[in-house]
């Protein structure tokens, strides 16, 4: 079978790590037709817009995209392309697995999947200024919008994901003690859904600040976590930090109209075109894409190859304490996959 996939190399280090990821995917022996499209700063430079219509149409037609990191200007300029893509394709679930790969770190045997609601909460971007006296920007106000349907969809997805992946426990993370409506609704729906899975999946809930502490005290107590948009954004980076940082953090954005797979780290323009970026996160995101396409055996080969290259072959990029280049790391993984 041939898979038709939209390929967005991205900005900064994106083209470098994406090239290595394509190399690894093709080493599986699977057949791909790549439709390369632009987004972010690269798209602005080429077309004048950060998200061209051609890119949207390509994803809409193929329904699967592999995306490199994109640069979002801070404080000015265009809004996040990632957020635009989430809204365009209703990418309601952000899946962030984190597993210990590099031995000798502070934490061993971490294996956590964070499921983040991707469309609601504070990140809906409904905000405005309120004028007081002569100051038109005296007060900034932002609305957190949470729907019962949105809570139901993401929490049920987390429990179903746990079942499919052979996981044991789902922890519902909230702030219902203070945010009694928006977070209280999330917890209410979560507890109701948890009852449907009694005897199959263990369930619990935890206040977000306690969760942040528990993650660095006893991360082994967590398996699958599900939470709202902003909490998930913050906690997913913390979870990545437990296993060595964002260089090892893949992500999947699952939607009703398409799914997009990506490294969750930024575009790192300070090291772009130097050949030193770690492509692991993008390669692992590609493995998640293969899971989505039903090619689980090939996905597992890629994950095993990444681990073997890091642990057994000791081929590591600079961020992992080694000296391998981006290409050397990609070549090593591709050889393992194709062996």
Active-site residue, selected from the candidate residues 11, 23, 67, 175: 175
**What's the domain range around 143?**
120-240
Q: Per the structure, how many domains does the chain have?
A: 2
Is 123 a known active-site residue?
A: yes
Question: Which residue in 78, 10, 6, 3 sits closest to 260, CA to CA?
Answer: 6
pLDDT for position 181: 96
Structure tokens at 224: 């699958």
Is-catalytic flag, 175? yes
Q: Note the pTM of the prediction, 2 decimals.
A: 0.91
Query: Is 68 among the domain residues?
Result: yes
Question: Which one is catalytic: 123, 161, 291, 331?
Answer: 123
- The answer to whether residue 111 is catalytic is no
pLDDT tens, the chain, 339 aa long:
899 999 999 999 999 999 999 999 999 999 999 999 999 989 998 999 999 999 999 999 999 999 999 987 654 556 688 888 998 999 999 999 999 987 766 788 899 999 999 999 998 889 999 999 999 999 999 999 999 999 999 999 999 999 999 999 999 999 999 999 999 999 999 999 999 999 999 999 999 999 999 999 999 999 999 999 999 999 999 999 999 888 899 999 999 889 999 999 999 999 999 999 999 999 999 999 999 999 999 999 999 999 999 999 999 999 989 999 999 999 999 999 998
State residue 154's pLDDT score. 98
Q: Is 223 a catalytic residue?
A: no
Q: Which sign, positive or negative, has the C-alpha torsion 89, 183, 113, 80?
A: positive
pLDDT at 260: 98
Q: Could you tell me which residues come within 8 angstroms of residue 250 by beta carbon, excluding any fewer than 6 positions away? A: 96, 97, 261, 262, 263, 264, 281, 282, 283, 284, 285, 287, 288
Are 55 and 131 found together in one domain?
A: no
**What phi, psi does 251 have (nearest 5°)?**
-150, 150
Residue 115 lies in a domain: no
CATH code assigned at 323? 3.40.718.10
d(CA 12, CA 296): 30
Predicted pLDDT at 79: 67
Domain CATH for 152: 3.40.50
Residues 292 and 189 in one domain: no
The rounded radius of gyration (Å) of the Cα atoms in the chain is 20
């Amino acid at each position: 079978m041939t898979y038709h996939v939209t390929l967005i190399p991205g900005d900064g280090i994106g083209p470098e790590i994406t090239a290595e990821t394509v190399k690894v995917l093709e080493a599986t022996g699977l057949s791909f037709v790549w439709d390369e499209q632009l987004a972010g700063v690269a798209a602005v430079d080429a077309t004048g817009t950060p998200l061209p219509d051609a890119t949207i149409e390509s994803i809409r037609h193929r329904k699967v995209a592999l995306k490199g990191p994109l640069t979002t200007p801070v404080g000015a300029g265009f809004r996040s392309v990632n957020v635009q893509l989430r809204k365009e394709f209703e990418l309601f679930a952000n899946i962030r697995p984190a597993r210990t790969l590099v031995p000798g770190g502070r934490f061993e045997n971490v294996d956590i999947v964070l499921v983040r609601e991707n469309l609601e909460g504070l990140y809906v971007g409904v905000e405005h200024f309120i004028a007081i006296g002569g100051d038109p920007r005296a007060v900034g106000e932002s609305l957190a919008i949470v729907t019962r349907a949105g809570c139901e969809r993401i929490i049920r997805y987390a429990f179903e994901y746990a079942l499919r992946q052979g996981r044991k426990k789902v922890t519902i993370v909230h702030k219902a003690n203070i945010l009694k409506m928006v977070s209280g609704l999330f917890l209410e729906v979560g507890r109701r859904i948890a009852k449907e899975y009694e005897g199959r999946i263990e369930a619990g809930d935890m206040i977000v600040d306690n969760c942040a502490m528990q993650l660095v005290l006893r991360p082994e107590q967590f398996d699958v976590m599900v939470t709202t948009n902003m909490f998930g954004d913050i906690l997913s980076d913390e979870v990545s930090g437990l296993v060595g940082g964002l260089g090892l953090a893949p992500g999947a954005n699952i939607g009703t109209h398409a799914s997009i797979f990506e490294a969750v780290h930024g575009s790192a323009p300070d090291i772009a075109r130097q050949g030193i970026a770690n492509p692991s996160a993008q390669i692992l995101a590609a493995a998640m894409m293969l899971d989505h396409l039903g090619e689980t055996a090939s996905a597992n080969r890629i994950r095993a190859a990444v681990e073997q290259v890091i642990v057994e072959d000791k081929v590591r990029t600079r961020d992992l304490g080694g000296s391998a280049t981006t290409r050397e790391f990609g070549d090593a993984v591709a050889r393992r996959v194709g062996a």
